[in-house]
Structure 1
Amino acid sequence: MNSQYVVVGAGLAGAATAWSLSRRGHEVTLVERTRPAAHDGSSHGSARIFRYPYPDAFYTELVVRAKAGFDELEKVSGRQLITPTGSLDLGGVRDPRRLAAVMEQVGVEHELLSAVEAQERFPHIATDTEVLWHPGAGVIDAEATVNAMVDAAVSHGAQVLSDWPVHRVDATGRGYRLHSDDAHIDAERIVVAAGGWLPTLLEQLPVSDGFRAGLPRFEVSQENAYHFPYRDQSGLWPTFIHKDESIQTYSLPGGRDAEFRGQKLAEYNAGRKMASAADQDGQIDAGNRQRIVEYVKRYLPGLVPEPYAETTCLFTNTPSEDFLIDTTDGITLVSACSGHGAKFAPLIGEFAADAATGTARAPERFTAHAIRAASHA
């Protein structure tokens, strides 16, 4: 089998790249070790936060651009992929006033509330600092988004191969040969968007020692997430991020995964570190669960402090938490870092397609050199 481009990994980043490449008229094959939006990857389920605030206007501006991609995808697919909820940012470390200044600079609707004003408006969430409110936030249905992008790619001629794990990649005279269990594909160029499996797959890629040595370290972790029931089912809950000196949490309506009856809550980037996604065991950290239960008791009077569901999920980050989009000799690596990458999916696909085709460069900040420099600054 031959293909001009092979995209490895059918999560949000890989599906977005396949969609972007195929609608530009390229021949594309998207391969996935199990199925798109795999349950043990970073793009499964129905609940990811879509939000605008970042301390750095660079990312807030990218969110604005990514939202246009989601709007287009919703139009193409006929599906609602982002459910509007609005969002809160609170806590001294989160620094709502600084975030509000960035939102003002970029031109995103927002409101800076005092702790008293926030408590009056959102009595189910205890607040002791200023709070940034922005109504444009919502909840991304990650699995539906992946499937919509895969369908859009197929409509432009892309092929999708499920249950196709990549075991080895060899350089050939005309590009690369990707090997699976009992099959292979010859490709002119490859895009590797393998999420938490990227560290392992890197060992099988024929890239130069210099390029390999220049890559940032990838940190893979098994995170814990919990669903707590609402005391009042008629209340409207936003997404929120709370960061202070003692804990950093994020929360959002649980969506389809949680039967729409509870709030998803997790401690940010606090899970067990692993060499690769292959090391997942799906076991909840009991200490982490207890910290989150105590957090709910203290800060979320609108929730019953007993989780009715819990799960693990996969994060993959670079040291700076910037995305990696870099190319060498026809191989493009894409690591749209878990924990904050979902909201950028359509735009990441555009950047990756630009890099793979050589038509444009991804932002310099997303190169291996820039990430390593940032992590040592």
Structure 2
Amino acid sequence: MQVDVVVVGGGAMGSAAAWQLSKAGKSVVLLEQFEAGHHIGASHGATRNFNTAYAEADYLDLLAESKTLWDELAAEHGAPLLDLVGLVNHGNVPRLELVRAAHQERGIESYFLPAAEAADRWQGMNFSTDVLFVPGSGRVRSADALVALRKSAEAHGATFKYSTPVRDIQVTGGESVVVVTDETEYTAARVVVTAGAWTPKLIGKLADLPALVVTQEQPAHFTPVDNTLVWPSFNHNPDPDPNNELYEYWFSPVYGMLTPGEGVKAGWHGVGPVMDPDERTFEPIPQQLEALVRYAEEWLPGVDPSSVVPISCTYTTTPNEDFVLDRFGPMVVGAGFSGHGFKFTPAIGRILKDIVDGGTAPARFAADR
């Protein structure tokens, strides 16, 4: 079967690429090895942080574009995809001062609050440092976003095929590629590979990628003790002083948000066990779960720590936690989103479309950077 572009991997990034490519008038087939809405990769779950607390110019550019595109997609979908409940950032104040300065340069609203004032405003949380609050941040309705991306892509002519593993990708020349499934072969000018944790297995030596480390991450939901509490999304970084005993048991920074109907989500960032995505246990590491419950006891007075419900997802992380958005002959790769990519989903779809058309991504995301 001949098409313009085959997209391999039907999570957030592949769905966004299919949306952008089909809007641009290309014939697109998306192939996903699992069923729609599966919980085996990195794109499932009801919410993700829409976190604009970055200091780097290229990430702030992507955030601005992503906000515009999320709103565009929501208009097509007929329902909101962002809940701008704000984002609280605390801990590591020197880093937050850099973020605040970058926001001031761009006219992004953010401001510092003393710890006591923040604790009075957000009574479900404790603070030991000044807090940087970003009102224009919040949550992405991630499960709804996947549905919206698919529906919009299909409305523009894309075909989504689930439960369709790709068995081989054959680069037959500079302007041609063959993608093999159990039922047929697709010949295309370009293939976009957005296969998450399966990327190294799928493309092997076809692309010179940086090391992609796959880990099983184990955040959890906690039940709020009072449904009248106001919950912004949050990022909590440990004090850079290694002698601060408040953080001695921490595994990493902590992120979290309210997931309506499920509880307050909190998790360590990128410190789960390294694992083959086809051999996951889906079980939390006891020491990490115990430490997360202790975090809830000490820093989240608005939740019941004993109500902990572990959840599981994968991270695919590059050495510097920057993404890979690059082209190798007729193959375009989006990979290594390192636990902070979802908020950028629609802009990443646009970048992948541009690379298919012969463009390039920002230099930060080159595979050899």
Query: TM-score over 0.5 for the alignment?
Result: yes
Check conservation: 1:314, 1:338, Cα contact below 8 A.
no
Aligned to 1:189: 190
Aligned to 1:81: 81
Check conservation: 1:115, 1:128, Cα contact below 8 A.
yes
C-alpha displacement of 1:38? 2.6
Check conservation: 1:10, 1:30, Cα contact below 8 A.
yes
C-alpha displacement of 1:341? 0.3
| 2:322 counterpart SS class | coil
Aligned to 1:9: 9
The reply to whether residue 347 of structure 1 matches residue 347 of structure 2 is yes
| 1:293 counterpart SS class | helix
Equivalent AA in structure 2 for residue 249 of structure 1: V
| 2:311 counterpart SS class | strand
Check conservation: 2:55, 2:103, Cα contact below 8 A.
no
C-alpha displacement of 1:37? 4.2
**Whole-Å Cα distance in 2 between the matches of residues 110 and 223 of structure 1?**
30
**Whole-Å Cα distance in 2 between the matches of residues 296 and 281 of structure 1?**
24
- Deviation per residue, 1:205-253 (Å, 9 max, x gap): 6x3xxx52xx210011100011111111111111100011433111100
Check conservation: 1:10, 1:37, Cα contact below 8 A.
no
Aligned to 2:131: 131
**Whole-Å Cα distance in 2 between the matches of residues 285 and 196 of structure 1?**
19
- Deviation per residue, 1:249-272 (Å, 9 max, x gap): 1110023xxx24x20110111111
C-alpha displacement of 1:7? 0.4
Check conservation: 1:220, 1:277, Cα contact below 8 A.
yes
Equivalent AA in structure 1 for residue 181 of structure 2: S
1:241 aligned to 235, 238, 246, which one? 235
Task: Give the count of matched residue pairs.
Answer: 357
Check conservation: 1:325, 1:367, Cα contact below 8 A.
yes
Give the alignment of 1:173-184 within 5 angstroms: 175-184=176-185
- Deviation per residue, 1:317-352 (Å, 9 max, x gap): 111111111112110011150411000000000100
Aligned to 1:323: 323
| 1:306 counterpart SS class | strand
- Could you say if the C-alpha distance between residues 99 and 327 of structure 1 is closer, same or farther in structure 2, counting changes exceeding 3 Å? same
| 1:197 counterpart SS class | helix
Aligned to 1:144: 144
Give the alignment of 1:233-312 within 5 angstroms: 233-245=227-239, 246=247, 247=250, 248-255=253-260, 259-260=261-262, 262-274=263-275, 276-312=276-312
**Whole-Å Cα distance in 2 between the matches of residues 352 and 320 of structure 1?**
20
- Could you say if the C-alpha distance between residues 295 and 141 of structure 1 is closer, same or farther in structure 2, counting changes exceeding 3 Å? same
C-alpha displacement of 1:98? 2.3
**Whole-Å Cα distance in 2 between the matches of residues 125 and 96 of structure 1?**
18
Check conservation: 2:192, 2:331, Cα contact below 8 A.
yes
Check conservation: 1:336, 1:348, Cα contact below 8 A.
no
- Could you say if the C-alpha distance between residues 26 and 77 of structure 1 is closer, same or farther in structure 2, counting changes exceeding 3 Å? same
Percent sequence identity over aligned pairs? 32
| 1:301 counterpart SS class | coil
**Whole-Å Cα distance in 2 between the matches of residues 148 and 340 of structure 1?**
20
**Whole-Å Cα distance in 1 between the matches of residues 165 and 326 of structure 2?**
22
Aligned to 1:373: none
The reply to whether residue 26 of structure 1 matches residue 26 of structure 2 is yes
C-alpha displacement of 1:96? 2.5
| 1:273 counterpart SS class | coil
Check conservation: 1:66, 1:343, Cα contact below 8 A.
yes
Equivalent AA in structure 1 for residue 237 of structure 2: K
Check conservation: 1:94, 1:243, Cα contact below 8 A.
no
| 1:201 counterpart SS class | helix
Which sections of structure 1, spanning at least 5 residues, go unmatched?
371-377
C-alpha displacement of 1:177? 1.7
**Whole-Å Cα distance in 2 between the matches of residues 290 and 238 of structure 1?**
24
The reply to whether residue 226 of structure 1 matches residue 238 of structure 2 is no
- Could you say if the C-alpha distance between residues 57 and 329 of structure 1 is closer, same or farther in structure 2, counting changes exceeding 3 Å? closer
Check conservation: 1:4, 1:189, Cα contact below 8 A.
yes
Which has the larger displacement, 240-249 or 347-356?
A: 240-249
The reply to whether residue 64 of structure 1 matches residue 64 of structure 2 is yes
Let me know the Cα RMSD of the aligned residues: 1.6
**Whole-Å Cα distance in 2 between the matches of residues 308 and 244 of structure 1?**
22
**Whole-Å Cα distance in 2 between the matches of residues 295 and 110 of structure 1?**
26
**Whole-Å Cα distance in 2 between the matches of residues 341 and 74 of structure 1?**
19
Aligned to 1:41: 41
Aligned to 1:375: none
**Whole-Å Cα distance in 1 between the matches of residues 158 and 130 of structure 2?**
48
Aligned to 2:243: none
Check conservation: 1:42, 1:338, Cα contact below 8 A.
no
Equivalent AA in structure 1 for residue 368 of structure 2: H
- Could you say if the C-alpha distance between residues 191 and 90 of structure 1 is closer, same or farther in structure 2, counting changes exceeding 3 Å? same
**Whole-Å Cα distance in 2 between the matches of residues 244 and 94 of structure 1?**
11
Aligned to 2:244: none
- Deviation per residue, 1:150-203 (Å, 9 max, x gap): 111111111111111111112336622211223222222100000011011122
Aligned to 1:313: 313
Aligned to 2:242: none
User: What TM-score comes out, normalization by structure 2 length?
Assistant: 0.93
